[in-house]
A and B are shown apart, each in its own frame.
Chain A
Amino acid sequence: MIEVQHLTKRYGPVTAVDDVSFKVEKGEILGFLGPNGAGKTTTMRVLTGYMPANDGKAVVAGYDVFANPIEAKRRTGYLPETPPLYPDMTVREYLTFVARIKVQGASASDRAMRVEHAMKKTHVDDVANRHCAKLSKGYRQRVGLAQAILHDPDVLILDEPTAGLDPKQIIETRDLIRGLAGNHTIILSTHILPEVAQTCQRVVIINKGRVVAEDTPENLTHQLKGAATLYVQVESNGDLLPTLKGVPGVVKVDVADRHEKFTGYEIEAAPNRDVRRDVARAVVDGGWGLLELRPKRISLEEIFLQLTTEERPEEAQHG
């Protein structure tokens, strides 16, 4: 549904997007993750036809955005970082205007129906007659979303759709976006990690204009550490390292924390091997008290930091 190949965008001497390629399948929600200034917004602006790229190709809903921008735009809904609202218009007037420029050749009644439908779907029908200037941040964001889905596009591109919302609104917006998937293919950008884990099926992590990882949130977690890590707390201040290392399947053991009465260990197991039972037995058989045993899952946050702080060898050379 969306295919980006070797996309490069430069602003003068600054390369904002550097040889970015990825694909999004129909009905998928793709999370576009990266620190501020990584090139997320620029990539999205290229995909929506707001600006041309210097190099590369982008195909949206079967249309090349450079060769056939009008057809591509007809099939794309876009929510920019700041919802593009006209303060002097009421919500209904605004959406009716958007319907006029986005839906070609629709009758007035068809437009009115689309507007009502979009307002219902994004829960803004209660402010239909209020001026956009007087809307709260949460409503502005949702009117922006209504604007993006108005023409029932194949592809939705959402630039930080939950930025600046309160926790309740964030949950509502995420539910809304999840509800839209299936009918629409969605790319959403964010720098908030749990958002990706909760809403997206696939993640593209971008840093300094380059794609540094692309996978499902689960796979990313696996890939990076290779294996699950266990945290074990034992009621003893003795040294259990040899015992734990002797458990079959255990690759590495470290002391995580040491207290007066108990010690915590971090145990790394071989890939796809569940060592929990054996570790528990080894501890109990040794006569120590087992206080705690839990899988220590690496969070997306850590992956993100690992990926975005890791220096690339060629970059180091070029200085």
Chain B
Amino acid sequence: MSEPTVSGESAANGSVPAPALSVRNLSTVFESPQRTVHAVRDVSFDMRPTERLGVVGESGSGKSALALSILGLIEPPGRVVGGEIMLGGRDISKLSDRSLGAVRGKDIALVLQDPMSALDPVKTIGYQVIEAIAAHEGELRRSAARKRAAELLGEVDIPQAERRLDDYPHQYSGGMRQRVAIAMAIAHNPSVLIADEPTTALDVTTQSQVLALLDRLVEQHGTAVILITHNLGIVSDFCDAVAVMYAGRFVETSGVDHIFLSPTHPYSEALLKCVPNPERLAEGPLPAITGFPPDLAQLPTGCSFQPRCPVGKDIPECQGQTPQPHTVEGPSGAASVECHFADQRIGQVKV
């Protein structure tokens, strides 16, 4: 993903593998009679097989809406208003809900943030894992399904998996529930896995266990992963590429080194400066990004970060024109940056 937003026409070229997932100009809104919230705005990216893309951003920047939009699971009053989602060479954004059902859980799967609420409290673990298996198997005998479910739970390191199939979610710990969620997601070896803050609700030790597990599984199966998080530490450990999301847009997309060594968008820079760093304890309190994220129903004209931006605050260009993605080449790789000052800032920012 050194050139993140180049068009996905590389399939013809034998040396570059076809993208596992290619998203073009995806936009999602939530409409009510009073207001229209633009949750995802014109997002484009490609993912190679096995690539791990970290999507970072504040709460409310549209990360989860993006995940649900890709899966076609946006519920009214939300609606995907445009864009293409090419999964294995097929545009799934135009499919009916029924045809999408054949894709979800099979070619593209989802892991959600909160393991406490991601499992139905009144159904057994076995029921829910078997449900994931059976959704894409024509006919499945009960004994075979149980066997496969126990294998899956074994794969995610649930001890005594066979016996614990009959337990209910409240009998599992948070980390185990998240592993069950992962087991259900990988049941059919999807080519793309979307993990929406899979570790946010877990304690640090469990977090690293779950990440190590995810790491091992996607390695084994060659799955491409979209990891949505606001934890930059996880991104640096786990991901190859990063997309910084702000107000529904990917404002900076690059390889993982670039974002940590020379973030170019002023928002990326500010985000990185908010990460606690023991070496800079002496410099005083942790900086915070001033102001608030914009109201997605009443976006400012021009660059949406401009009202909070230390660089573009009073610059007419930033106030008047929406910056388009600039591809810039920096000391630690290329990046696509939606900032009028991208060319000047590349390589200049130190964090």
A and B part of one assembly: no
